[in-house]
Chains A and B, each alone.
Chain A
Amino acid sequence: MTDVILEKVGKTYPNGYHAIPSVDLSIEEGEFIVLVGPSGCGKSTLLRMVAGLESISTGELRIRGERMNDKEPAERDIAMVFQNYALYPHMTVYDNMAYGLKNRGMPKAQIAEKVSDVATMLGLTELLQRKPRQLSGGQRQRVAMGRAMVRDPKVFLFDEPLSNLDAKLRVQMRVEIRQLQRKLGTTTLYVTHDQVEAMTLADRLVVLNKGKAEQIGTPMDLYNKPATPFVAAFIGSPSMNLINANLTEQGVKISEALTLPLSHAFRGGIVWGIRPEHLEVSDEQNADFALRIQAVESLGAETLIHGKLETESGHGEPLVVRLSGPHLPDINSLMWLRAPVSHWHLFDANTQQRL
């Protein structure tokens, strides 16, 4: 069953700023949707429109078939986890979690039962009588989630909930959020600028760029078949190598001297892409091109090699290669590489669409 539908939803701020032109999205029940994009692209704006904290300028929002545009946040049956947790500093953990239920007029005994259930699930039972300032960052984060969970909402909304945690805790909470969401089966809309977080959490991803949904799809869809160079560059770490080129009869012409053979009907300017992990080291005979090595990042399990395409003029495009295991090539030496055609991504340079 479709749970949440955004139909041509757009936002213009009172100061005239057109943050979101129009977004269409339909979310299935129980789905985990991640809105991802660089800072300032309108992720929070979109989420806050769903929450009811910002008005919807154009289009329509429906939750379980009911139009929500003019409903107060509390009437939408949603719960939100904020970036800075937004716990009430003067209330105990228990009261923080109970506050929303109290406002709904739920009987005390029932509130106590719900809060203690959720507290058990999140391991907060010991902390119920503490104030937020007596908690660690991770614990606050958990309380914020607990406050959302006790209300049994139709939809969870998260706005960069992990960005204030240290790296290790972030990974741990990420796993935990995903497990909880699976267990509860609650439809979730999650905002992040971190593509790793996005890839690992999402059933489907929405990549936003300047308020426009560039592509909507599963993490593997986006990884394997990015619709635009923007998505291609955004998904995956390190980013995909993208090089402006021309598609001619001979193939992809990257520079005067370098043309990678390909037969394709399209003619004209393109963006040619290949992921760092898909470039292969080879010997000189079988190589497609050579790389002049400029920097080596050894991470143990993998090695990232940064360099420039070797051309006769010396102004080659920058390129990153990702090799598994440790490698220690010399800086400034040449490395011969093969770029298997099956891993190429081609985009029309004008329309920015995938070919």
Chain B
Amino acid sequence: MIENRPWLTFASHATLLIGIALVALPVWMALVASTHPASAFGVGHIPLWFGDAGAETWGTVLFEKAGNGVDTPVWFMMLNSLIMALGITFGKIAISLLSAYAIVFFRFPFRNLCFWIIFMTLMLPVEVRIVPTYEVVANLDLLNSYTGLTLPLIASATATFLFRQCFLSVPGELVEAARMDGAGPWRFFFDILLPLSRTNIAALFVILFIYGWNQYLWPLLITTDDAYYTLVMSIKRMLSVTDGDIAWNQIMATTLLAMLPPVAVVIGMQKLFVKGLVDSEK
């Protein structure tokens, strides 16, 4: 939009500032809260400026134990979350790339049927199939393992669909040119298709990483061993301490830490992400 009206500029900036305030205020309060001692919350008012217990809270939470009944330090749970999120992300991308490749570029019987079957799994997210999936994972002896955390979440109809659309937009002449240039299926995939889908992969990476990082129900269900606890599910556990004496400062610090990796991924890949969503080089 190219409009030059001062009041419009003012109004849009004001709207944006209000939006920023709405989003940032809770984060700010969490940050402030994490610097006050746990007792500061019982008195009835919410502090708006930093206290002096920050170093202590953060040190404990990060390196000793998250508190509120969770005895593993945050960095360790972060590592678990990261392994799970990256496992899910890369797994999903790899599987969807390959299945979309097969569906778009190879002629085999029931090709369309295969696609629609994959597509129908959209209606079966983990939450719907959680009991049978749990049983399968339990039977395979995968409870309390990284494989168990990631594998059942890897199949992705959305990503397959996205890559299918992306591949379908590759001009037929390009495929033929590669054939004339002696590129077999694998060469074509790695030399031509992957680079062409680069921005789509990046966009998907961001979305899937956040999806993986925010997984709650599934890790809650299949991990019973502290060694595999992920950060997001632990926050909920920290809230359910029995004696009612919740250490809010520790929870706030943990929450802030849980927000960091997704934020980092979004900021780091912002440029590619936007490019992948709005344009393509083809």
Contacts A80-B177, A84-B173 given; indicate if A89 touches B182 (C-beta within 8 A): no
Q: Is B5 an interface residue (CB 8 A)?
A: no
For the complex, give the distance between the alpha carbons of A83 and B172 in Å.
12
Contacts A89-B282, A133-B281 given; indicate if A103 touches B182 (C-beta within 8 A): yes
Residue-wise, chain B 194-222 has the 8 Å CB interface mask toward A (1 for contact) of 01101000000000000000000000000
A86 and B171 within 8 A (CB): yes
User: A113 → chain B, closest Cβ, in Å?
Assistant: 19
Instruction: Select B179's contact among A53, A84, A85, beta carbons within 8 Å.
Output: A53
Residue-wise, chain A 225-239 has the 8 Å CB interface mask toward B (1 for contact) of 000000000000000
Contacts A83-B173, A90-B281 given; indicate if A78 touches B180 (C-beta within 8 A): yes
B182 and A104 within 8 A (CB): yes
Contacts A88-B174, A89-B282, A90-B281 given; indicate if A51 touches B180 (C-beta within 8 A): yes
A100 and B180 within 8 A (CB): yes
For the complex, give the distance between the alpha carbons of A90 and B191 in Å.
9
| Residues of A contacting B: mostly | loop
For the complex, give the distance between the alpha carbons of A99 and B173 in Å.
16
For the complex, give the distance between the alpha carbons of A302 and B182 in Å.
50
Q: Is B183 an interface residue (CB 8 A)?
A: yes
> B residues within 8 A CB of A88?
174, 177-178, 192
Instruction: Select B174's contact among A74, A80, A86, beta carbons within 8 Å.
Output: A86
B171 and A84 within 8 A (CB): yes
A-B contact pairs, 27 of them (CB 8 A): A51-B180, A53-B179, A53-B180, A74-B180, A74-B181, A74-B182, A74-B183, A80-B177, A82-B176, A82-B177, A84-B171, A86-B171, A86-B174, A86-B177, A87-B177, A88-B192, A90-B192, A90-B195, A90-B196, A90-B281, A91-B195, A99-B178, A99-B181, A99-B183, A100-B181, A103-B181, A104-B182
Nearest A-chain residue to B173, judged by Cβ: A86
B180 and A79 within 8 A (CB): yes
For the complex, give the distance between the alpha carbons of A281 and B253 in Å.
99
> B residues within 8 A CB of A147?
177, 181
A103 and B183 within 8 A (CB): yes
Q: Is B187 an interface residue (CB 8 A)?
A: yes
Q: Is A73 an interface residue (CB 8 A)?
A: yes
Interface set, chain A 59-116, CB cutoff 8 A to B: 72-74, 78-80, 82-91, 99-100, 103-104
User: A125 → chain B, closest Cβ, in Å?
Assistant: 22
Residue-wise, chain A 129-157 has the 8 Å CB interface mask toward B (1 for contact) of 00001000000000000010000000000
> B residues within 8 A CB of A82?
173, 176-177
Residue-wise, chain B 161-180 has the 8 Å CB interface mask toward A (1 for contact) of 00000000001011011111
| Residues of B contacting A: mostly | helix
User: A114 → chain B, closest Cβ, in Å?
Assistant: 14
Residue of B178, B182, B187 with most chain A CB atoms under a 10 A cut-off? B182
B187 and A74 within 8 A (CB): no
Which residues in A have some Cβ–Cβ distance to B below 8 Å?
51, 53, 72-74, 78-80, 82-91, 99-100, 103-104, 133, 147
User: A104 → chain B, closest Cβ, in Å?
Assistant: 6
User: B125 → chain A, closest Cβ, in Å?
Assistant: 34
Instruction: Select A80's contact among B171, B180, B187, B192, beta carbons within 8 Å.
Output: B180
User: A32 → chain B, closest Cβ, in Å?
Assistant: 20
Nearest A-chain residue to B195, judged by Cβ: A90
> B residues within 8 A CB of A72?
179
> A residues within 8 A CB of B187?
103
B176 and A86 within 8 A (CB): yes
Residue of B179, B180, B187 with most chain A CB atoms under a 10 A cut-off? B180
Nearest A-chain residue to B187, judged by Cβ: A103
For the complex, give the distance between the alpha carbons of A82 and B179 in Å.
13
> B residues within 8 A CB of A79?
180
> B residues within 8 A CB of A87?
177
Nearest A-chain residue to B177, judged by Cβ: A86
B180 and A73 within 8 A (CB): yes
> A residues within 8 A CB of B198?
90
Q: Contacts A74-B179, A88-B174 known; list 4 others, CB within 8 Å.
A: A72-B179, A74-B181, A80-B176, A86-B174
> A residues within 8 A CB of B195?
90-91
For the complex, give the distance between the alpha carbons of A309 and B175 in Å.
54
For the complex, give the distance between the alpha carbons of A86 and B181 in Å.
12
Nearest B-chain residue to A72, judged by Cβ: B179
For the complex, give the distance between the alpha carbons of A51 and B180 in Å.
8
> A residues within 8 A CB of B282?
89
Contacts A74-B182, A86-B171 given; indicate if A99 touches B176 (C-beta within 8 A): no
